[in-house]
Amino acid sequence: MKIVNLPCKLALFSLFFLLLTGCWDQTEVEQLAYVVAIGLDKPEDVKEGLVEITYLIANPQSGAKVGGDEPPREIISFSVNDFINARNLANTVIAKQISYDLLRFIIVSEEFAKDDDFIKWMYDATKATDFRRDLRILVSKESPSTFMQNNEPLVDKRPHKYFDLIFKRGKETGTIPPGELFSFYRITESDANVFLGVYATTEQEEEGARQEDSDQIIAGEFDSSGETNTTQFAGSAVFKEGKMIDTLTIEETRLSFLLSNIFEKPREILTAMPDPFDEDYQLTTRIQRDGNIDMNMDLEKEKPTIDVTVPIVLEVMTNHSMNNYSDDVKKREKLEDSLEDTLTQKFEDLIKKTQEEFGAEPFGWSLIARKEFLSIPEYEEFNWMKTYPEMEINVNVNLRIDKFGRQIRLPDLDEVRD
């Protein structure tokens, strides 16, 4: 074969060589097991330094034409040193290579999150190359393995879709914080704020669940019945210095959203407010932050003061006392004043709680305060985390009622009943 000259031969040879051997990073899609969520828990009765890993693996076959009757997911739990190492150990049970390409969530048990060593495992995620930095941190009341097993959505069965939708909706309604991993790192490293993770559970509280205010609940306290999933995503887990210290209710989470410039504005917060004209009723309102909050800081003083002005735009959706606010300026003013007072009170309560119970705020005000300093040493000298509990904080709500629902006027109740 004189036709094929040497360079050609070499090229062909190297091509085949590469084709045969050069498949180092080559993996076929169908030979991967896609982990959607990783659970981390403290194993019981095992020596220190181990962690219980739970994998929630999506099954691509679910809903496919062939083999569509396979279950949508697979769950496996075991104890291991860290979740990098876990990938190999999982293969003793799982047939395919574990892939973190679809990984979107880290589920941590409340008990483990409150452990001092928790942060050490969290930093493993910065080492693994295929870990995305925008993973979300979810704290479950029970152990993650129980959480995942109990979580059986009836309709959105495919786990990645289910979590995706829950989070998207939660973000829009402001019931759960974003809880992204990179902000966890950032907040932990800067040591000035607390981080809000998502709080969830599959176990419903048995008694006294239903509280007076339907918003003052966290996951597990929402009383739902019927034929549906028992999992609840509500409220946030508060992490201070990389360790969980407390929880926030739905309302508190929403108030945090309103008080912070850092969080993305939730699109629709629907909440009930006391009706100033009738104590028996409540007004359902849609609240939005109207632009950024305005902060006025005086940090030079012995006792630093902060004046916070929160611009709120509000829409009154229901009107059970059947008052026609729209026609009466005085009534409107009264309504506005009342709502402003309620909100201010709520904000103040939350701030007080953060000052006294957490000793740090989740609103990211320290970032705004950074503008007051010229250099990082000065700022670190000030020590926001330490100073915060002693600060004097004045909240001022700047309320604007935007609309009164679709149909503005209501019939006079007395006339109707007459």
Partner 1 sequence: MLQKLFRGKKEKRAYNGSKLDGDMSKDNSEKIDSELTKTVNIFKTIYSYPDNQDVTIRNIHINGLNKDGALLFISTITDTKVIDEYVIEPLLKNQDSEVKIDDLVSVPSISKTTAIADICTEVNNGSAVLFVDEETQAYILNASNFESRGIEKPENETVVKGPKEAFIEKASTNISLIRKRIKNENLVVETQTVSKRSNNVAYIVYIKNVTNDDIVDKVKSRLHTMDVDAVQNLSLLEQYIEESHVSIFPTVLNTERPDRAVSFLEDGYVVLLMDNSPDSLVVPATFWSFYHTSEDHYLRLPYGNFTRVLRLFALFVTLFTSALYVAVVTFHVEMIPPDLLLAIASTRELVPFPALFEVLLMEIAFELIREAGLRVPSPIGPTIGIVGALILGQAAVEANIVSPIVVIVVALGGLSSFAIGDISMNFAIRLSRFIFVIAAGVFGMYGMVALFTLGVFYLVSIRTFGVPYLAPMTPTYKSSKDTIFRKMLQNEIFRPGYMKPKDMKKK
Partner 2 sequence: MEQPQGRTGGKIGIKEFVAIVVIMIGTKITDDTTALLFKPLLNAAWMVPVINGILAIIPVALLMKVSTHYENKDLIDVSYHLFGKYIAFFVLFILWFIGFCFIVVDTAIYTDIIGTMYYLRTPSIVIYGLLMFVCAYGARKGLENIGSVAWTVYPYLQASLFVTLLITFSQGSTNFLFPLFGPGALEVIKESSFTISIYMDILYVFILFPYVNRTKDFKKGTWIAFALIAINMALALISYIMLFDYHSVAMQSYPYHEALRTINFAFLTNLESFIFPFWLIGSFVKFTAYLYINLLLFAKLVKIEQFKYLIPTFATLIVFLGLIAENPAVTMHQLKQTIAYITSPMFFALPILFWIVAKWKGEFKK
Is 384 near partner 2 (CB under 8 A)?
no
26 touching partner 1, by CB under 8 A: yes
Write the Ramachandran bin of 242: left for phi over 0, alpha for psi from -120 to 50, otherwise beta. Answer: left
Q: Which of 114, 132, 157, 243 binds partner 2 (CB under 8 A)?
A: 132
* Nearest partner of 46 among 70, 19, 80, judged by Cα: 80
**Two tokens at 416?**
């109707």
Name the residue nearer to partner 1 (CB basis): 47 or 65.
65
Binding string, residues 179-208; x marks residues near partner 2 by CB under 8 A: ---x--xx--xx------------------
Here's the x/- map for partner 2, 262-281, by CB under 8 A: it reads as x-------------------
57 or 250, CB closer to partner 1? 57
The set of residues, in sequence order, having a beta carbon less than 8 Å from that of 339 and lying 6+ positions away, is 273, 276, 285, 314, 399, 401
Q: How far is the CB of 18 from partner 1 (least distance, A)?
A: 5
For the CB of residue 133, give the shortest distance to partner 1 in the complex, in Å.
Answer: 13
Find all residues with CB under 8 Å of 3, minimum gap 6, and list them: none
The stretch among 167-175, 226-234, 297-305, 373-381 that binds partner 2 (CB under 8 A) is 373-381
Among residues 28, 206, 207, 415, the one that binds partner 1 under rule CB under 8 A? 28
- Name which of 89 and 102 has its Cβ closer to partner 1: 102
**By CB under 8 A, residue 157 contacts partner 1:** no
Token pair, residue 196, equals 């809000």
Looking at 5, 6, 7, 24, which residue binds partner 2 (CB under 8 A)?
24
Which residues, in sequence order, are CB contacts of 29 under 8 Å at separation 6+? none
Quick check: 378 binds partner 2 (CB under 8 A)? yes
What does the block give as tokens for 343?
A: 């909100």
- For helices 250-259 and 329-353, the axis angle rounded to 10 degrees is 100
Q: Which residues, including other chains, have CB under 8 Å from residue 239's CB and lie 6 or more apart? A: 113, 184, 187, 188, 194, 195, 196, 197, 245
Q: Which of 5, 92, 129, 225 binds partner 2 (CB under 8 A)?
A: 129
**CA angle (136, 142, 146) in 5-degree steps:** 90
- Residue found under tokens 């629902």: 405
Binding residues vs partner 2 (CB under 8 A): 22, 24-25, 129-130, 132-134, 182, 185-186, 189-190, 261-262, 364, 367-368, 370-371, 373-379
